[in-house]
Structure 1
Amino acid sequence: MPRLATTPPQHDPTPIFELFRGSYGSELLTAAIAHFDIFARLERSPESLESLAAANGLQMRPANVLVTALRAMGLIGVADGKLTLTAMAQEHLVPGGMYDVGDYVGLAAQSPGVLTMVRLLKSNQPLSFDDGGAAFIYRDGMASAMEATDSARHFTLALAGRAKNVAPALAEAVDAVDAELLVDIGGGTGIYSYAILQKHPSLHAVVVDRPEVLKVAEEMAAEYGVADRVTLQPGDMFDDSMPTDADIVLLSNILHDWDVPECKKLVQRAASLLRPGGQVAIHDVFLNDEQDGPLPIALYSAALFTLTEGRAYSEAEYAAWLVEAGLTVQPRVDTLIHCGVLAGKKA
């Protein structure tokens, strides 16, 4: 009997993920207080994000991750387009204030986690894998754990832990009633595609990923009983050719691995693969359009920042990229563990 990818879990595991990612909040708060001149500068005068980033030697991606988290914590607000301190931060985090607790938080300033976070924020680079490359991402010329058999298998199966929980909800959220071909870019184990295939028996899927990753996807396709409807295509998602008659192009938890220029390129590529009436389905987490939370997503953004070249993005950012690619944005449908699907349809 094939394994079912369409049966949802009995218990929502979202709280487990929130607890797991909570440590990033401590690290970012301590870094902002003890290593960056955030609260003292904003007490003197409101500043733009760009100005605050430049004053602390930060590029825009790390500055966005740091400030989004501080806004989600209720410590920084925005007035007239500039960052300001909230009343709580004004009372408790301005150095020298009567009720300043900055020195107390600063007791963790030299902890390994905080020092690593500070180094990553200043360098705008993800954590290195054992050989100096990256663990979760691949680009041409980059050493990647996804290129070695053992590490690729380990990381791919680890990431499948979330996919198994979310895939049933994704299969319900994606409109594939009349679809014939699904292209899953960076599909990993393929579990997201396999759930959609099980729900729609006439559908075929092409899963694109690195060769070592697809070895796991091949095993999973057999376990889920969809091997006869899956084509596993090794390749580079940025440059290698893909099928150009897709009804659905799925970008599930992929764009958050990359910075804005790469995200735009991937969305443009995905849109170019569609037949008329097809859709690009972005399945990911979503920051508020105001970039002030929710806090669990802001902390997940920090996790993404430390491990990839990306961060979490807002629905407005994703929607803008879909529109730039010539697609019409559809209403967002939430899935599980803070994820949702935002689709763009081709006329």
Structure 2
Amino acid sequence: MYESAIQPPLVDPTPIFELFRGSYGSELLTAAVAHFDLFGRLSKQPMTLEQLGDELGLQPRPANVLVTALRAMGLLDQRDGKLCLTAMASEHLVPGSRLDCGDYLSLAAQSPGVMSMVHLLKSNKPLGSDDDSGTAFIYRDGAKSAMDAEATARHFTLALAGRAKNVAPALADVLPIDNAQTLLDLGGGTGIYSYALLQKHPQLRAVVFDRPDVLKVAKEFAETYGVSDRAELHPGNMFADPLPEHVDAILLSNILHDWDVPECKQLIRRCVETLKPGGRLFIHDVFLNDALDGPLPIALYSAALFSLTEGRAYSEAEYRSWMTEAGLRTQSKVPTLVHCGVIEGVME
């Protein structure tokens, strides 16, 4: 008896993920107060994001992650393109103000989590890139990656399956691929998203493209879900190796958030090049507000992504602009589960 990949959870697990990521809020707030004097600097004059990043010595990605979180917390606002303090921050986080709470927050200034976050913000590099452990969730030529060692690749891939098993039924329920024959799941990991789609659409075949050691786990799940006869496991480097050609649909599920903007655009362009005319690209991910001011759970998830990968969370507007630039006609986001949603781009 095969397991179902399309049976949804009885209880929405989203609060569990929110609680798990909550620590990033404490670390970012404490870093902003105790290590960067961000509120003191902005109390003197409003600044653009670029100006504030220069003032703090932060590159665009970490500056974006930090400011997005503080805006989502209700501590920063943006007026006429410049960042400024909200009333709460002005009264309680400006050093020397009558009701300043900064010294209280600074009690955690030297905690390991805060110190690690400060280092990550200043270096703009993911955890593991400064020592011999290697990055956990990403692969780049010339850099050590846990995804190229069988034991750690298996550990991280199975860990990510915990979310995929919950979200895959919702994705399979909304993805419009009734007429598709071939789906390319790029960076497919466990393959669970593809396998849910295979169970729902008997006419569909899927190609799961990922690193060789990751695909060993995908093979086990294909057998568990009874779809091995319609799932092809294709090892490779999605940035450099040839992709299967002329596919009907491509799925990028929780992939682009691992990478910075140039790599995101590169992957989208590669996808467009391999789609059939009229083919569809589906970006399934989390989404910040277009104003990059929240929501708070996604802003904190963005900090988690920033810590472990070369990426961050992006907004629907950012994704749609990259898809349009690559020649796709985009559709509005459709929600799935655990803060995720999917944007469809159609090849003209």
**Aligned: 1:36 with 2:41:** no
2:63 is aligned to 63
1:169 is aligned to 170
Q: Displacement of 1:46 after TM fit?
A: 0.3
Q: Displacement of 1:35 after TM fit?
A: 0.4
TM-score (ref. length: structure 1): 0.99
2:6 is aligned to 6
**Aligned: 1:189 with 2:182:** no
Counterpart of 1:251 in 2: which secondary structure? strand
Q: Displacement of 1:134 after TM fit?
A: 0.6
Residues 167 and 336, structure 2, Cα contact 8 Å, conserved in 1: yes
Counterpart of 2:9 in 1: which secondary structure? coil
**Aligned: 1:49 with 2:54:** no
Counterpart of 1:286 in 2: which secondary structure? strand
**Whole-Å separation in 1 of the counterparts to 2:247 and 2:332:** 21
**Whole-Å separation in 2 of the counterparts to 1:272 and 1:321:** 14
Structure 1 counterpart of 2:132, one-letter code: D
2:334 is aligned to 333
Structure 1 counterpart of 2:147, one-letter code: M
**Whole-Å separation in 1 of the counterparts to 2:92 and 2:272:** 49
Q: Which runs of 5+ in 2 are unaligned?
A: none
Structure 2 counterpart of 1:260, one-letter code: V
The more displaced of 129-138 and 22-31 is: 129-138
**Aligned: 1:275 with 2:280:** no
Counterpart of 2:11 in 1: which secondary structure? coil
String of CA shifts for 1:153-210, please: whole Å, max 9, x gaps: 1110000000000000010121110000000010001000000011000100011000
**Whole-Å separation in 1 of the counterparts to 2:41 and 2:282:** 41
Residues 207 and 232, structure 2, Cα contact 8 Å, conserved in 1: yes
The more displaced of 121-130 and 249-258 is: 121-130
**Whole-Å separation in 2 of the counterparts to 1:212 and 1:33:** 42
Counterpart of 2:248 in 1: which secondary structure? strand
**Aligned: 1:223 with 2:224:** yes
Counterpart of 2:203 in 1: which secondary structure? coil
Structure 1 counterpart of 2:260, one-letter code: D
Q: Displacement of 1:37 after TM fit?
A: 2.5
TM-score (ref. length: structure 2): 0.99
String of CA shifts for 1:220-258, please: whole Å, max 9, x gaps: 111111101011000001011111211110000000000
**Whole-Å separation in 2 of the counterparts to 1:132 and 1:14:** 30
**Equivalent runs, 1:1-347 vs 2, <5 Å:** 1-128=1-128, 131-347=132-348
**Whole-Å separation in 1 of the counterparts to 2:61 and 2:282:** 24
Counterpart of 2:245 in 1: which secondary structure? coil
Structure 2 counterpart of 1:108, one-letter code: A
**Whole-Å separation in 2 of the counterparts to 1:298 and 1:170:** 22
Counterpart of 1:3 in 2: which secondary structure? coil
**Whole-Å separation in 2 of the counterparts to 1:50 and 1:323:** 26
**Whole-Å separation in 2 of the counterparts to 1:328 and 1:137:** 29
Matched residues, number: 347
State the identity as a percent.
69
String of CA shifts for 1:74-132, please: whole Å, max 9, x gaps: 00000110000001100000110011101100110000000000000000000007733
**Whole-Å separation in 2 of the counterparts to 1:332 and 1:75:** 28
Q: Displacement of 1:15 after TM fit?
A: 0.2
The more displaced of 71-80 and 131-140 is: 131-140
RMSD of aligned Cα (Å): 0.8
**Whole-Å separation in 2 of the counterparts to 1:153 and 1:321:** 32
